[in-house]
Amino acid sequence: MTPDNYCQEKAASSGSSFYYSFLFLPEQKRKAIIALYAFCREVDDVVDAQTEVHIKQTKLHWWRNEIQALFDGHPQHPVTRALQAVIQDFNLPQEQFEEIIDGMEMDLLQNRYDSFKDLSLYCHRVASVVGLLSIEIFGYQDRQTRKFAHDLGMAFQLTNIVRDVYEDSTRNRIYLPQDELAEFNVDDKTILQHQNNEAFVALIKFQIKRARDYYDKALSEIPDVDRYAQRAALAMARIYLETLNEIETDGCRVLEHRIKLTPIRKVWLTWKTLRQEKRRYKKWLRQNPK
C-alpha cells in the first residue's frame, strides 16, 4: 500500500464530514489535504485509544519525533511519507504540526475546562491550526482569509463539542466550560449520568449560539477573492451548520445520542455548495476582470 492509499483509507474510514468536502478538489490538493487529515486522525486516535495515559504520552512523543523526522527529510510512517511532498509544495510550517500535537496532549492532562478562555486554547490547537494549514493547501491571496480559517476552525470544534457530549462523557471528559455549567445550574453528574433536563437543554442552546456566532464571524471575514479557493472549507461549514440544525430539531438531546448526517446527505450538501460557489465565482470574475 502506498502512503497516499494509506491516507485515503484512514480518511475514508473515519466517515468525517471533512472527507466528503475533499472529494471534489483537484488531485494534488485532494491528496495533500487528505494526508493532513490522516495525520490529525492518527494523533487523535492515540488520545482516544483505551490504553494507559503513559502509553498515550509515549505515542504522542513518538509523533513529535516523527514530525521532526518529516522536516529533516527522513519520515518513517505512511502518513508522514505522504506529507513529505505536501510540506514542500505548500510550504507548511513544522510548528503548526507540533501545535496540533500540543492540543491532543491537553486531552491527556485535563478533562475539564474552567472557562471558555481555557477551552479556546484547546480549540485553537486542535482545530484552528488545522484550518490555517488547510488554507495553505487550498490557496489564498488575501491574508484576511487567515482570520476566516481560525474562526471557522473554532466553529467546527465548538460544533464537535456539542455533538459529542454523550460520547465524551463516557470517557469522563466534559468540554463545556465549568463556569457556564454553574451559570445554567448544571453539574458534572447531570452530564455523566446523562440526565437530559431543561437546564441542560438551555446550556446546549447557549453553546449552539456561540458556535453559530463563530460561523457568522468566519463567513463575514472571507474575502471574495478567496471564496472559490476555499470552497471545500465552505462546504464543510454547510455540513456542520446542518448538523447544528439537526441537533436543535432533535430537541438538543445530545446526552441521549449523537446526531449524524448520512453520507449521501453530506455529498449532496457538498455538491450543492460547490455549485453555488462556482456560480458566485463566475459572477465575481465578470465584475472583476483582470
| Angle formed at CA 42 by CA 37 and CA 44, multiple of 5 degrees | 90
69-78 pLDDT, tens per residue? Answer: 999 999 999 9
Report helix, strand or coil for 219. helix
Reply yes or no on whether the pLDDT at 14 is more than 70.
Answer: no
CA distance 78 to 131: 22
212-257 pLDDT, tens per residue? Answer: 999 999 999 999 999 999 999 999 999 999 999 999 999 999 999 9
Question: Are the folds of 1-109 and 112-290 the same?
Answer: yes
Confidence of residue 168 (pLDDT cuts 50, 70, 90): very high
Confidence of residue 22 (pLDDT cuts 50, 70, 90): confident
CA distance 183 to 214: 21
Reply yes or no on whether the pLDDT at 37 is more than 80.
Answer: yes
How much is the average pLDDT of 17-30? 83
Per-residue confidence (pLDDT) for residue 147, from 0 to 100:
98
Q: Are 134 and 36 contacting, i.e. CB atoms less than 8 angstroms apart?
A: yes
Reply yes or no on whether the pLDDT at 191 is more than 70.
Answer: yes
Place of cell 496532549: 105
Task: Give the fold, CATH level 3, of 1-109.
Answer: Farnesyl Diphosphate Synthase (1.10.600)
How much is the average pLDDT of 198-208? 97
Buried b (16+ CB within 10 A) or exposed e, 128-139: bbbbbbbbbbbe
Per-residue confidence (pLDDT) for residue 17, from 0 to 100:
67
Per-residue confidence (pLDDT) for residue 97, from 0 to 100:
97
Per-residue confidence (pLDDT) for residue 228, from 0 to 100:
95
Reply yes or no on whether the pLDDT at 19 is more than 80.
Answer: no
Query: What phi and psi values does residue 26 have, to the nearest 5 degrees?
Result: -60, 155
Q: What is the residue extent of each domain of the chain?
A: 1-109, 112-290
DSSP state of 223: -
Buried b (16+ CB within 10 A) or exposed e, 175-201: bbbbebbeebebbeebbeebebeeebb
Per-residue confidence (pLDDT) for residue 230, from 0 to 100:
96
pLDDT > 90 in the chain, percent: 87
Confidence of residue 12 (pLDDT cuts 50, 70, 90): confident
CATH class of 112-290: mainly alpha
102-137 pLDDT, tens per residue? Answer: 999 999 999 999 999 999 999 999 999 999 999 999
pLDDT > 70 in the chain, percent: 98
Query: What's the whole-model pTM score?
Result: 0.94
How much is the average pLDDT of 37-64? 92
93-109 pLDDT, tens per residue? Answer: 999 999 999 999 999 99
CA distance 158 to 150: 13
